[in-house]
Amino acid sequence: MDRKLMLDFPKKIVVAKNKRKFKKEYLWGYLFIASPIVGFLLFAFLPMLFSIYVSFTEFDLYSPARFNGLENYKQLFQDDIFIKTVGNTFYAALGIPIGMIFSLMIAIALNQRIKGLTFFRTAFFLPTVCSIVALTLLWKWIFNSDFGLLNILLSYIGVSGPAWLSDEHWAMPAMIIQGVWGGLGVNMILYLAALQSVPKDLYEAAEIDGANGWHKLIYITIPSISPTTFFILVTSIIGALQDFQRFMIMTEGGPNYATTTVVYYLFLNAFRYMKMGYASAMAWVLGIIILIITIINFKLSKKWVHY
């Protein structure tokens, strides 16, 4: 046998063994990712494709779907209630900047060396891990116009509290207050982590240059945590445009559709009025709105987000 072939033979054996080993590892890798992929296909991708088809039909779950073209979409933009729900949804989203400001203020306070720091961090984050149903029922009692805690506290200072959840003008502000409170925990933790990653050298250099606390906040802290701010902004907007549970529990969309969001109106059409085609069209319009807003946020982020 040729000497070169004799020397290369063991190497070829090793390469063959490595190939079999890699194939086996790849097989296990594919097996591990198969479950989420199959779950996505069965419970997300295929239902999405079906909802696209249903959005062009008249379908009530009991009888076969009847194709009606763009009728659902035409009806959607002529539906005064749907247009009102879109306005309500964006109205409720006004609580996002308010919540972000409060979350940042709390995070800055909890980033200081104060006694009981662990207790305060836990207290602010605790509502996040509690059941949203339980918390919503709690706030429903707080906003009760007759014996609610908020109106009782207002009466102590001589203010007659409104009928928070049954007054058309006060129902959405009440929902915004509850939404701001509910989002403080997660946003505070995110901001706290971002604040602790800001280099201390920047603050020390700013102090040497004579910068005060306000200057350090505006020119160092806020730009340094801008990626976290962007993440919170995008996820909060997406979440707000899909808000459903607390509106269903606290107000059921009332009074007079004052707190009916797009998703809650979608739910009513799909499972109460059995208009699956109309509800599917509504879902896709909402999805397109969310996509457009998200793309705009990413485009604008280049001007104010500093990585």
253-274 pLDDT per residue, tens: 989 999 999 999 999 999 999 9
Residues 20-40 have pLDDT tens digits of: 666 777 888 888 889 889 999
Average pLDDT, stretch 279-295?
A: 96
Task: Return the pLDDT at 115.
Answer: 79
pLDDT at 19: 66
Average pLDDT in the 74-95 region? 95
Question: Can the peptide bond before residue 64 be classed as cis, meaning omega within 30 degrees of 0?
Answer: no
Residue 10 pLDDT > 70, yes or no? no
Mean pLDDT (the chain) is: 89
Share of the chain above pLDDT 90, in %: 70
Give the number of C-alpha atoms closer than 13 A to the C-alpha of residue 41, restricted to the C-beta side.
6
pLDDT of residue 73: 96
Q: To which residue do tokens 């109460």 refer?
A: 272
- Mean pLDDT confidence for 101-117: 88
Sign for the CA dihedral angle at 299, 305, 306, 307 comes to: negative
So what's the pLDDT on residue 15? 53
- Top mean pLDDT of 60-64, 131-135, 232-236 is at 232-236
Q: What integer is the mean pLDDT of 90-112?
A: 93
For 193-238, what is each residue's pLDDT tens digit?
999 999 999 999 999 888 898 999 999 999 999 999 999 999 999 9
pLDDT beyond 70 at 96: yes
| Residue 257 Ramachandran class (φ > 0 left, ψ -120 to 50 alpha, else beta) | left
Q: Residue 120: pLDDT band by 50, 70, 90 thresholds?
A: confident
Q: Tell me what pLDDT residue 5 has.
A: 47
Q: What is the mean pLDDT of residues 55-64?
A: 92
pLDDT of 7 reads 46
CB contact at 8 A, 274 and 60: yes
User: Is the pLDDT confidence value at 154 over 70?
Assistant: yes
Considering 1-10, 125-134, 272-281, the range whose residues carry the highest mean pLDDT is 272-281
> Does residue 166 sit in helix, strand or coil?
coil
Confidence at residue 9, expressed as pLDDT on a 0 to 100 scale: 47
Beta strands in 28-170 (DSSP E): 57-58, 66-67
Average pLDDT in the 269-287 region?
A: 95
Burial of 290 (0-12, 13-18, 19+ CB in 10 A): middle
pLDDT tens, position by position, 234-251: 999 999 999 999 999 999
Summarised one tens digit per residue, pLDDT across range 163-178 is 999 999 999 999 999 9
